[in-house]
């Protein structure tokens, strides 16, 4: 899908992937050598999180933020920490990393 080395640390990027034959928008957050994948769908109203391509982080850079109503999500768990969907969470997408390549886990 992409190279780990192309993902900036503590940032997220969006991708379109095929899952079960359907196109699905996901985001990948990198923290050091770990990656966290989520569906790019806010649990509040079902919109995508990014207000511009690959703009997922809050101003302080601590949270993934939904552009529509500002919900904040912990980037390593997907849990909503503040906002209208507090207590809910992003849907995780399992990823694997091998030889600098990030893949969807089988
Ligand atoms: S749609 Fe994301 S916070 Fe409302």
Q: What is the pLDDT of residue 51?
A: 82
Q: Which of ligand 1's atoms lies nearest the C-alpha of 45?
A: 1
Residue ID of nearest Cα to ligand 1 atom 3: 69
Buried b (16+ CB within 10 A) or exposed e, 43-72: bbeeebbbeeeeebbeeeeebbbbebeebb
Q: What is the pLDDT of residue 106?
A: 73
What pTM, to 2 d.p., does this model score?
0.95
Q: What is the pLDDT of residues 21-50, one digit of tens each?
A: 999 999 999 999 999 999 999 999 999 999
| Ligand 1 centroid – CA 42 distance (Å) | 6
Note whether 72 and 80 are within 8 A (CB): yes
Quick one: pLDDT band at residue 54, thresholds 50, 70, 90?
very high
Q: What is the pLDDT of residues 73-99, one digit of tens each?
A: 999 999 999 999 999 999 999 999 999
What is the distance of C-alpha 7 from the center of its chain? 12
Report the side by side order of strands in the sheet with 64-65: 64-65, 72-73, 80-82
Note whether 39 and 25 are within 8 A (CB): yes
Ligand 1 pocket check: which of 50, 85, 86 to mutate, most ligand atoms within 8 Å of Cβ? 85
Residue ID of nearest Cα to ligand 1 atom 1: 45
Q: Which superfamily does CATH assign the domain made up of 2-104 to?
A: Rieske [2Fe-2S] iron-sulphur domain (2.102.10.10)
51-66: average pLDDT: 95
């Amino acid at each position: 899908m992409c190279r780990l080395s192309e993902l900036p640390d503590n940032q997220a990027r969006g991708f379109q992937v095929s899952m079960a034959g359907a196109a699905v928008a996901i985001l990948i957050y990198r923290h050091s050598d770990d990656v966290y994948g989520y569906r790019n769908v806010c649990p509040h109203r079902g919109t995508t999180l990014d207000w511009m391509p690959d703009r997922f982080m809050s101003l302080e850079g601590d949270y993934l933020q939904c552009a529509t109503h500002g919900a904040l999500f912990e980037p390593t768990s997907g849990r909503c920490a503040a906002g209208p969907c507090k207590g809910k969470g992003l849907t995780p997408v399992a990823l694997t990393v091998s030889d600098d390549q990030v893949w969807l886990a089988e």
